[in-house]
């Protein structure tokens, strides 16, 4: 296939890639299918047997219509955040229209520019791995296509310049002699692509960054399904992703990994503030007792607070191995006492919420593995030691939504709670209070799980009346929703009844792999539940969401593809943790590491050298003059190396000039040692503008030299004779021969200088 | 073949594509700073490195390229001048792609009409390229410099190798197709220049002599009367026919400024037309098999004797091409009497002047050139 034909195909593939990449950035399958199908159709229409293109009038009309449609859609939405998406769609359809245009050089330029702009639009929208993979493919392809475009454009320009005269043929596309064009082009193109990618890695690493990578954090939170914020007005259908985020090994105090008979809740965020205006749950950041600690590098456990007794015995261990989630949150099982990580990290522990967060400033990317020592049912003394005085019970419990009191009383009545202490008794007696809290929460959660509410992730039918709170709507009218609604409803009722509670988000581990003896946590296992205060330093988890629904979610959409997802997830995790989350901290870490590695390598080398020198001084009893001896030896070695390098280079040069490369290596080296004079003569002639063409024999070249300077021709003829004797006659130069050739060279020099 | 040469100078320039590309790089850089997005940062880094790689690749492809212009011999006004170049890639591994060859600092009278372009020159390969010039003025022109440039791989940078290799090209005057019966009217039926018999034996029609019959002689040439009288076979020999002879006398005795022309007429253009007419007359004579010669009056140009053939024609045209109209004129020059038998055609730039020579001749003026020209046949539609 000629390069001309390759260019057409490469340019078309590049356009297809840009369409696919933008559709991936928008996660719009319809856009991919429709845009891609029309683009493929354009290939058949324009490059097919008939080769038809759209008249410019029609294509311009279509472009005007597209522009009008884009303006209308932009003005109707009036959302600046979507402006990139609107622009991208405009570019995509403009590109598709341009595919049906004539095949002119300026149209090609426009198409390639549009494709590049489309990809940049996609980059402004997302940094997801699948999109990034397409972008990298696009980059490689665009380098290849740009090189082909350069050749194609030059060919067209040269042909066009000759067409004006009409009397000459276009220049040849393929040369008639020499090695093949396409393989050599391929080699140059691949080398360029590799160089650009290698250089771009360096540029990416060195690009100045200020602060933490927002892209990484946003991305990690959006892809995981886990969030430290809940929006109850987002009426949408949640896709249940099967992406494998991490694995959990649950180890009992004896050291055996086992499967718990209940789901394991992995806490990620504690949301304790509900905003009745925005209908959002948020983190109330009031704790200022955050403890920062540094974990050791060798996976040893470090206690999460001072005064915590030995945590090696009688506690459970949760080992978490990340697969595709890059986040700063360390998901914990209630209640953690110690943490261990694969590398040394800076970890912040909030004693009020018992949450852990990686605040590392000296690591690259995110962690791979960590383990927690936990006590599922800790003693009050232990919790007091762990938390201190930061988590004291509150007395003013309420929920900022009007109209919940009758609903709570109604539910309380339906839950059939009998024998509970009264609110008055609970206020005076803490034991009764904690019992009341526990029993009330258990009863209401059980009531919610009893089939009165329907679990669904499709909230498109969830209607909220004007002025109505979504939680009220959930409890009173709709009675369907997902875990966030169940948890919000339970908290609303409990707080209305004066029971202190909070919403927790994270993951629930249900799916257990018996062969690996570990839980597999997927994106669809993101969950929200409720914690109720059941002691001065005690919180108990209650999950109002039907457990069957959680299992169903876990089992739903299960396919054999899940067995291989871990491969893709692993790569995606690498992308998220090493690239997307790469920020100034990671940059500083790399710089420190490189610096320290170099420094230590230099120091080690220096120490090793000194040790060797000392050993030699002692062995040979060199005494104080040892330094001079070593310096002399080093200089001699350096000089020998330099001499060898120069001689070797000269030998290679001689082989090339004398055309000895086709001979066996040893034979070529042996002859090259004797025909150095011939190479020198050729070099001398070349400097005088008499270089020997490759197609000319040395003896033929004598005539050229003689025409320039007759005496030089005579001397050069002598040297050529001698060269022939060595090269083809098997002659070896004697000392006398060498002197003669040296004299002939001198005469050649002077003859060329005088021009005689 | 002349050996290829090193480049005299090397230059690197930004093209328009490179300029637009730099703007795009800046835009992506601003976007990646404004919106901390590591993918954009990566793209920015790749674009920046692509610029660097572009320079390195284009530089290394041209690093060991040698080139030579193959000396153009002749050119003619109105015809395309094809200049050939030899490009030799001395590199061991790196092929060269997208090589353009251009003449730089072209003199007035030579215009570029087609670029020389080579797709590929592999390592150790030697290829040829052709560029096309359009000569518009007669004379000796100097081609001072040519350059080989490439914007491979991405068109962002243009690397140029400049070869200062002056060479001269002689541009002959334009040859206008004249009416074919022009010379037959003035020469064949003329007083001195018609077909005549030569003093040598040849294949003509005139009687030359009789000799003894030799085996192989044609029976048609047997002298029958002599056979009847002497009873011996004899063969009639014919004399060689000599074609008509034409001497073109170009009258350049008057200085350009002294030419008698109407106002608004460029006298130098008339002189050039006179040279064109002289060249065209001799080309017509050559085409019709006549012998022709040239005499230029008023300038130091040696008279060219009457001959015919390809080399003679080239000699005559070269003499016309080399005429320097800025030289001082000899107003007293005249055509000397000689025994030469030829039709004399006087070509004057301005007006006919019978005082040029005592001989009888035909006078033409430069202004007659359009009327003597063979009308062009309209092209039919394909």
DSSP B223-283: -HHHHHHHS--EEEEEEEEE--EEEEEEE--S-GGG----TT--HHHHHHHHHHHHHHHHH
Say yes or no for a CB contact (<8 Å) between B38 and A165: no
Q: How far B98 CA sits from the closest chain A CA (Å)?
A: 6
Q: Is the dihedral of CA B88, B94, B98, B103 positive or negative?
A: negative
- The 3-state DSSP class for residue B380 equals coil
At CA A215, angle to CA A209 and CA A217, rounded to 5? 110
**pLDDT tens digits for range B103-124:** 988 988 898 888 889 988 888 8
Nearest by CB: A143 against B39, B50, B94: B50
Look at residues A498, A249, A533 and name the one whose alpha carbon lies nearest to residue A387: A533
Q: Given this model, what pLDDT does residue A343 score?
A: 80
Chain B hits for A161, Cβ within 8 Å: 113-115
| Residue pairs between chains A and B whose CB atoms are closer than 8 Å | 199
**pLDDT tens digits for range A85-106:** 888 999 999 999 999 987 777 8
Q: How far apart are CA A430 and CA A498, in angstroms?
A: 14
- Provide the pairing of β-strand B196-201 with A355-358: unpaired
Numbers of helices and strands, H then E, in chain B: 7, 18
Interface probe for B, chosen from A88, A110, A188 (most Cβ of B below 10 Å), is A188
**pLDDT tens digits for range A539-548:** 899 999 888 7
Q: What is the DSSP string of A648-666?
A: HHHHHHHHHHTT-TTS-HH
Kindly tell me if the per-residue pLDDT of A132 is higher than 70. Answer: yes
Nearest by CB: B45 against A150, A158, A200: A200
Alpha helices, DSSP H, located in A373-429: 380-387, 405-414, 423-428
User: How many angstroms separate the Cα of A494 from the Cα of each of A412, A503, B30?
Assistant: 10, 12, 51
Widest CA span in chain A: 128
Contact A293, A302 (CB under 8 A): yes
At CA A434, angle to CA A429 and CA A440, rounded to 5? 120
Interface probe for B, chosen from A125, A147, A587 (most Cβ of B below 10 Å), is A147
Both structure tokens of B264: 């608004």
Say what the alpha-carbon torsion angle A670, A671, A672, A678 is, to the nearest 10 degrees. 160
Give the residue on A whose Cα is nearest the Cα of B7.
Answer: A689
Q: How far apart are CA A98 and CA B115, in angstroms?
A: 30
* Long-range contacts (CB closer than 8 Å, 24 or more residues apart) made by B260-269: B260/B350, B260/B351, B261/B350, B267/B349, B267/B350, B268/B325
Q: How far apart are CA B368 and CA B273, in angstroms?
A: 9
Q: Does A457 touch chain B (CB under 8 A)?
A: no
Q: Given this model, what pLDDT does residue B334 score?
A: 82
Q: Chain A, 126-165: which have a CB under 8 Å from a chain B CB?
A: 127, 131-132, 135, 139, 143, 146-147, 149-151, 153-155, 157-158, 161-162, 164-165
Where along chain A do its domains lie? 3-168, 587-621, 643-754
Q: Is the dihedral of CA B174, B180, B183, B188 positive or negative?
A: positive
Q: How far A749 CA sits from the closest chain B CA (Å)?
A: 19
**Residues A137-161, mean pLDDT to the nearest whole number:** 89
Q: Given this model, what pLDDT does residue B274 score?
A: 95
Say yes or no for a CB contact (<8 Å) between B114 and A153: no
Alpha helices, DSSP H, located in A304-453: 380-387, 405-414, 423-428, 430-447
Give the residue on B whose Cα is nearest the Cα of A202.
Answer: B45
Q: How far apart are CA A175 and CA A185, in angstroms?
A: 13
Give the residue on B whose Cα is nearest the Cα of A120.
Answer: B40
Chain A hits for B113, Cβ within 8 Å: 161, 164-165
Neighbours of B302 (CB within 10 A): 9
At CA A112, angle to CA A111 and CA A117, rounded to 5? 95
Q: Given this model, what pLDDT does residue A214 score?
A: 44
Which parts of A229-308 are beta strand (E)?
Answer: 230-231, 244-251, 264-271, 273-275, 280-282, 291-294, 302-303
Mean pLDDT of chain A: 83
Contact A158, A171 (CB under 8 A): yes
Q: Does A218 touch chain B (CB under 8 A)?
A: no
**Contacts of B175 by beta carbon, 8 Å cutoff, 6+ apart:** B76, B78, B276, B279, B280, B283, B317
| Secondary structure of B312-354 as H, E, C letters | HHHHHHHHHHCCCCCCCCCCCCCCCCCCCCCEEEEEECCCCCH
* Residue with tokens 């008794």, as numbered in its chain: A425
Q: Given this model, what pLDDT does residue A216 score?
A: 40
Say yes or no for a CB contact (<8 Å) between B132 and A164: no
Contact B119, A175 (CB under 8 A): yes
Please give the backbone phi and psi of residue A668, each rounded to the nearest 5 degrees, phi first: -60, -40
Q: Given this model, what pLDDT does residue A503 score?
A: 93
Q: How far apart are CA A372 and CA A302, in angstroms?
A: 9
| pLDDT band, residue A224 (cuts 50/70/90) | very low
Look at residues B188, B244, B186 and name the one whose alpha carbon lies nearest to residue B361: B186
The strand pairing partners of A370, in sequence order, are: A320, A341
Q: What size, in residues, is chain B?
A: 382
User: How many angstroms separate the Cα of A724 from the Cα of each of A183, A570, A678, A685?
Assistant: 36, 66, 10, 18
Kindly tell me if the per-residue pLDDT of A177 is higher than 60. Answer: no
Whether the link from the prior residue into B258 is cis, omega within 30° of 0, is: no
| pLDDT band, residue A81 (cuts 50/70/90) | low
Chain A hits for B153, Cβ within 8 Å: 146-147, 150, 188-189, 192
Chain B hits for A695, Cβ within 8 Å: 126
Q: How far apart are CA A662 and CA B375, in angstroms?
A: 64
Look at residues A136, A111, A130, A131 and name the one whose alpha carbon lies nearest to residue A121: A131
Q: Is the dihedral of CA A540, A545, A549, A555 positive or negative?
A: negative
User: How many angstroms separate the Cα of B293 from the Cα of each of B28, B247, B283, B307?
Assistant: 74, 5, 11, 7
Q: How far A21 CA sits from the closest chain B CA (Å)?
A: 13
| Straight-line distance from the first to the last Cα atom of chain A, in angstroms, rounded to the nearest whole number | 54
**pLDDT tens digits for range A41-73:** 998 888 888 788 888 899 899 999 999 998 888
**Contacts of A346 by beta carbon, 8 Å cutoff, 6+ apart:** A292, A293, A294, A358, A359, A360, A361, A362
| pLDDT band, residue A221 (cuts 50/70/90) | very low
Give the residue on A whose Cα is nearest the Cα of B158.
Answer: A150
| Architecture of the domain spanning B9-171 | Sandwich (2.60)
Q: Provide, rounded to the nearest whole percent, the portion of chain A with pLDDT above 70.
A: 90
Where along chain B do its domains lie? 9-171, 182-191+244-372, 196-242
Segment among A42-51, A462-471, A708-717, B3-12 with least mean pLDDT: B3-12
Say yes or no for a CB contact (<8 Å) between A181 and B124: no
Contact A152, A112 (CB under 8 A): no
* Residue with tokens 């996976």, as numbered in its chain: A299
Q: Does A587 touch chain B (CB under 8 A)?
A: no
Point out the residues of chain B with pLDDT beneath 50: 191-192, 380-382
Q: Given this model, what pLDDT does residue A531 score?
A: 93
Neighbours of A355 (CB within 10 A): 24
Q: Given this model, what pLDDT does residue A239 score?
A: 62
**Residues A675-691, mean pLDDT to the nearest whole number:** 87
Contact A514, A559 (CB under 8 A): no
The strand pairing partners of A528, in sequence order, are: A505
Both structure tokens of B278: 């002289």
- The 3-state DSSP class for residue B296 equals strand
Say yes or no for a CB contact (<8 Å) between A199 and B49: yes
Q: Given this model, what pLDDT does residue A217 score?
A: 39
**pLDDT tens digits for range A363-404:** 555 557 889 988 888 888 888 888 877 777 777 788 888 888
* Long-range contacts (CB closer than 8 Å, 24 or more residues apart) made by B28-32: B28/A120, B31/A120, B31/A124, B32/A207
Ramachandran class of A601: left when φ > 0, alpha when ψ lies in -120 to 50, beta otherwise: alpha
**Contacts of A183 by beta carbon, 8 Å cutoff, 6+ apart:** none
Chain B hits for A653, Cβ within 8 Å: none
Contact A329, A268 (CB under 8 A): yes
The strand pairing partners of A519, in sequence order, are: A248, A512
Ramachandran class of B195: left when φ > 0, alpha when ψ lies in -120 to 50, beta otherwise: beta
Say yes or no for a CB contact (<8 Å) between B95 and A185: yes
Which secondary structure element, helix H or strand E, spans residue A61, and what is its range? helix A56-77
Kindly tell me if the per-residue pLDDT of A188 is higher than 80. Answer: yes
Q: How far apart are CA A493 and CA A499, in angstroms?
A: 9
Contact A304, A349 (CB under 8 A): yes
- Provide the pairing of β-strand B234-242 with A454-455: unpaired
- The 3-state DSSP class for residue A170 equals coil
Q: Given this model, what pLDDT does residue A490 score?
A: 92
């Amino acid at each position: 296939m000629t390069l001309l034909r390759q260019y057409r195909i490469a340019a078309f593939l590049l356009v297809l890639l840009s369409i696919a990449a933008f559709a991936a950035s928008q996660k719009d399958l319809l856009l991919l299918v429709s845009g891609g199908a029309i683009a493929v159709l354009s290939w058949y229409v324009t490059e097919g047997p008939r080769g038809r293109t759209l008249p410019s009038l029609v294509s311009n009309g279509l472009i005007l219509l597209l522009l009008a449609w884009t303006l209308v859609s932009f003005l109707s939405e009036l959302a600046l955040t979507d402006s990139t998406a609107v622009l991208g769609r405009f570019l995509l359809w403009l590109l598709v229209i341009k595919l049906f245009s004539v095949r002119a050089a300026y149209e090609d330029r426009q198409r390639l520019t549009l494709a590049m702009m489309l990809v940049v639009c996609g980059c402004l929208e997302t940094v997801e791995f699948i999109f990034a993979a397409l972008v990298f493919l696009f980059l490689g392809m665009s380098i290849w296509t740009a090189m082909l475009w350069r050749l194609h454009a030059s060919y067209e320009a040269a042909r066009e310049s000759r067409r004006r005269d009409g009397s000459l043929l276009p220049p040849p596309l393929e040369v008639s002699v020499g090695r093949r064009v396409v393989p050599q082009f391929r080699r140059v193109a691949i080398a360029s692509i590799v160089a650009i990618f290698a250089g771009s890695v360096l540029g990416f690493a060195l690009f100045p960054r200020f602060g933490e990578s927002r892209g990484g954090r946003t991305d990690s939170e959006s892809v995981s399904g886990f969030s430290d914020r809940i929006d109850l007005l987002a009426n949408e259908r949640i896709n249940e992703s099967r992406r494998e985020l991490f694995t959990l090994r649950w180890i009992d105090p004896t050291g055996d990994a086992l499967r718990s008979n209940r789901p394991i809740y992995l806490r990620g965020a504690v949301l304790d503030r509900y905003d009745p205006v925005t209908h959002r749950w948020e983190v109330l950041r009031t704790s200022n007792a955050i403890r920062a600690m540094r974990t050791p590098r060798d996976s040893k456990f470090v206690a999460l607070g001072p005064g915590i007794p030995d945590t090696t015995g009688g506690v459970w261990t949760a080992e978490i191995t990340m697969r595709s989630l890059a986040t700063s949150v360390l998901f914990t099982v209630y209640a953690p006492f110690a943490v261990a990580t694969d590398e040394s990290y800076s970890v912040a522990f909030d004693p009020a919420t018992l949450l852990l967060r990686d605040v590392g400033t000296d690591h690259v990317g995110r962690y791979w593995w960590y383990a927690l020592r936990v006590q599922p049912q800790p003693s009050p003394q232990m919790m007091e030691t762990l938390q201190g005085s930061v988590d004291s019970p509150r007395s003013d419990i309420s929920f900022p939504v009007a109209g919940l009191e009758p609903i709570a009383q109604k539910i309380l009545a339906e839950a059939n709670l009998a024998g509970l202490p009264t609110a008055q008794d609970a206020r005076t007696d803490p034991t009764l209070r904690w019992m009341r809290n526990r029993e009330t929460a258990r009863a209401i959660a059980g009531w919610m799980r009893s089939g009165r509410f329907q679990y669904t992730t499709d909230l498109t039918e969830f209607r909220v009346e004007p002025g109505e709170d979504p939680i009220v709507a959930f409890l009173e009218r709709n009675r369907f929703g997902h875990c966030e609604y169940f948890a919000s409803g339970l908290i609303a009722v409990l707080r209305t009844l004066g029971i202190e509670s909070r919403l927790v988000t994270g993951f629930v581990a249900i799916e257990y792999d018996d062969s690996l003896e570990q839980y597999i946590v997927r994106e669809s296992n993101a969950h929200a539940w409720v914690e109720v205060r059941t002691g001065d330093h005690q919180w108990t988890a209650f999950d109002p969401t039907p457990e069957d629904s959680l299992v169903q979610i876990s089992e739903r959409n299960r396919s054999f593809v899940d067995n291989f997802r871990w491969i893709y997830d692993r790569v995606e995790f690498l992308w998220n943790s090493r690239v997307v989350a790469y920020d100034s901290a990671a940059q500083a870490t790399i710089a420190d590491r490189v610096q320290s590695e170099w420094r230590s390598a230099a120091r080690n080398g220096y120490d090793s050298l000194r040790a060797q020198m000392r050993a030699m001084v002692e062995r040979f009893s060199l005494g104080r003059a040892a330094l001079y001896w070593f310096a002399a030896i080093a200089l001699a070695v350096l000089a020998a190396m330099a001499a060898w390098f120069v001689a070797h280079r000269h030998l290679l040069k001689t082989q090339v000039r004398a055309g000895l490369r086709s001979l066996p290596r040893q034979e070529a080296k042996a002859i090259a040692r004797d025909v150095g004079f011939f190479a020198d003569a050729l070099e001398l002639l070349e400097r005088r503008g008499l270089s020997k063409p490759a197609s000319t024999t040395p003896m033929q070249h004598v005539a050229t030299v003689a025409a320039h300077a007759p005496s030089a021709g005579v001397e050069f003829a002598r040297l050529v004779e001698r060269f022939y004797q060595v090269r083809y006659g098997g002659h070896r130069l004697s000392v006398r021969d060498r002197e003669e050739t040296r004299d002939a060279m001198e005469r050649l020099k002077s003859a060329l200088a005088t021009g005689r | 073949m002349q050996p290829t040469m090193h480049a005299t100078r090397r230059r690197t320039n930004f093209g328009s594509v490179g300029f637009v590309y730099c703007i795009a790089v800046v835009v992506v850089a601003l976007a990646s700073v404004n919106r901390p997005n590591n993918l954009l940062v990566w793209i920015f880094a790749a674009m920046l490195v692509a610029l660097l790689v572009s320079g390195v690749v284009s530089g290394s492809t041209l690093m060991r390229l040698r080139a030579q212009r193959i000396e153009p011999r002749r050119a003619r006004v109105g015809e395309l001048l094809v200049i050939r170049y030899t490009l030799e890639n001395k590199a061991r591994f790196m092929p060269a792609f997208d090589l353009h060859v251009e003449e730089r600092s072209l003199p007035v009278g030579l215009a570029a009409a087609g670029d020389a372009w080579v797709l590929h020159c592999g390592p150790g390969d030697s290829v040829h390229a052709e560029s096309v010039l359009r000569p518009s003025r007669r004379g000796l022109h100097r081609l001072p410099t040519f350059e080989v440039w490439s914007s491979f791989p991405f068109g962002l940078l243009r690397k140029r190798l400049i070869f200062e290799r002056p060479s001269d090209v002689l541009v002959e005057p334009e040859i206008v197709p004249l009416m074919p019966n022009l010379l037959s009217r003035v020469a064949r039926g003329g007083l001195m220049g018609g077909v005549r018999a030569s003093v040598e034996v040849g294949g003509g029609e005139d009687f030359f002599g009789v000799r003894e019959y030799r085996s192989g002689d044609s029976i048609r040439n047997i002298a029958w009367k002599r056979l009847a009288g002497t009873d011996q076979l004899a063969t009639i020999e014919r004399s060689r026919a000599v074609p008509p002879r034409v001497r073109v006398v170009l009258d350049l005795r008057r200085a350009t400024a002294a030419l008698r022309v109407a106002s608004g007429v460029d006298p130098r253009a008339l002189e050039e037309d006179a040279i064109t007419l002289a060249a065209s007359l001799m080309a017509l004579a050559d085409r019709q098999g006549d012998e022709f010669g040239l005499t230029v009056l008023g300038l130091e140009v040696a008279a060219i004797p009457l001959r015919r053939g390809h080399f003679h024609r080239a000699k005559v045209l070269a003499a016309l091409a080399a005429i320097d109209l800025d030289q001082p004129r000899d107003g007293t020059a005249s055509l000397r009497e000689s025994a030469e038998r030829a039709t004399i055609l006087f070509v004057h730039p301005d007006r006919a002047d019978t005082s040029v020579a005592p001989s009888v001749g035909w006078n033409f003026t430069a202004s007659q050139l359009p009327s003597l020209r063979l009308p062009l046949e309209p092209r039919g539609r394909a």
